[in-house]
Structure 1
């Protein structure tokens, strides 16, 4: 089989904080408050299926089993569970998300086979004044945070950051965080669905019942001395050059502005994922060409080799370090 860029049918997740904004990308949403589109995923809670080319109809798990490291690359598997190592999402936050934290791979209370969760956010759009929670205030320790939770004043311990489109946030495991209302996000993360909630505004879930909190697990996994979280503005000084937004042990994510023709290449050790943020153009490779538009995500096999991005568009590129 000749390699080609794979596009998947998203797995949509209804969330109490979601809405309908992902429709702006031409996605056909199911009914309800859709908070998450899992665009590229190979997880028990959501495995995406290829919709184009020779592999159409196959899930990423089936492709992994049949084509292995040829398509995903020599590094393209989790050492812990053997699955595709990343999960790519689009998030529509019409309301505040819970204040939460994610464990690392080594937390002993993780379900068997589950990974920790280091992630990053790229802000695609944000209403004026939209905010996120990003880390603890300086000096807050476990005892102080536990006391604040017990006294219903956890917000006194948290940092708030006002965000704009183009902002990028790196969120290693152990970082307390929460997206706020009015934000549209591209999220690149470890292939994990492990979230511990610290606080949820006394909100009821979609079932009309209070949503579960995970106080003890949260307090156990928080990096009180700092997790290495960083954020940045991502204005680009030139076209057809990469600006690195996040470099972690689990993924590297870059941003670039395509103008004209940008010649690129995959390597045998890792697939490449492109998220189209804005503009329009194509992906060209030896055997074909695909038109692409905002909100689309493509998995480029490790053995694709030379390819080019053309047109005028902003793209994210993620691969394994």
Structure 2
């Protein structure tokens, strides 16, 4: 089956969110009539939201179909042994017109016990940020369970949260158990484990069109916190052109920054699929089977069976992801 695989694109799954805006439509050219486009799920194997191929001979087939039929040729032998017919990553673009809820995610153990799901370790790459925009990550002081609960109950949670001014290119690694929120005016690319489990602890007293507040999950969240985490969430990375610059490497994914200004010969020796997320410009990815263009706001899956390929661009910035 190796010969039938090629660089694969998927139809974005767009999500209307109470806090969403129009940047995904206006800046990333996502087609939608939704009033508040909060998220574009680029590659998803979440139950009920499975991605569908949008290009080439496999157009119209689901990611689930690809996994069942191509197995390790799609995702690599070690990944197939570990995950079977389950794709391990969820790739998104997120536009926050308003602040997202203050939230955190459970680890693998809690998520499996409570939700039959993976945990949700994730990272953000800031694609655009309005002047003065913030990301909320962690606390602004040493924190204990008791102090946190006191502020939660007295509705002074924002007093102990860490607000980070953010600009394009800023990158954050959000481990499970860390409180966080994307602030108003920020658009990010998000790479995460395949999970849709979020524990909301505060939602700015926001109500929907019917006057209803969104559900909070404080009883579940309190056991998911890791109050002993270091403030190591800001990612420093080099930006050397025409080579992979590692940003984040964890058990769930490795992501590198790749700025392309010429033709690069690439070799996939990771025994894994590779994902390319275009965050600026436009590039061309060429294999023996096919050539595919990728422009800002697009995501492409390179099957593990394709070991050699070329990436060409006059000027493009890509995120390169594998497991």
TM-score, normalising length: structure 2 = 0.94
Equivalent residue for 1:239, pick from 229, 232, 241: 241
* Pair 81,181 (structure 1): closer, same or farther in 2 beyond 3 Å: farther
What pairs up with 1:35-184 in 2 under 5 angstroms?
35-77=38-80, 79=82, 82-107=85-110, 110-184=113-187
Q: Structure 2: where are the runs of 5+ without partners? A: none
Give the total of aligned pairs.
Answer: 319
The superposition leaves residues 199-234 of structure 1 with CA deviations (integer Å, 9 ceiling, x where unpaired) of 100001365410011112111111100067421355
Match of 1:22 in 2: 24
TM-score, normalising length: structure 1 = 0.94
Query: Any conservation in 2 of the 1:69–1:76 contact (CA below 8 Å)?
Result: yes
Match of 2:317 in 1: 314
Shift of 1:305: 1.1
Shift of 1:248: 0.9
Q: Establish whether residue 192 from structure 1 lines up as the match of residue 198 from structure 2.
A: no
Query: Any conservation in 2 of the 1:170–1:246 contact (CA below 8 Å)?
Result: yes
Distance in 2 (CA, whole Å) between partners of 1:82 and 1:291 is 28
Match of 1:285 in 2: 287
The superposition leaves residues 234-254 of structure 1 with CA deviations (integer Å, 9 ceiling, x where unpaired) of 562x31112111111100000
Match of 2:229 in 1: 226
Query: Any conservation in 1 of the 2:71–2:84 contact (CA below 8 Å)?
Result: no
Task: Report the 3-state secondary structure (helix = DSSP H, G, I; strand = E; otherwise coil) of the residue aligned with 1:9.
Answer: coil
Shift of 1:81: 7.6
Q: Structure 1: where are the runs of 5+ without partners? A: none
Task: Report the 3-state secondary structure (helix = DSSP H, G, I; strand = E; otherwise coil) of the residue aligned with 2:266.
Answer: strand
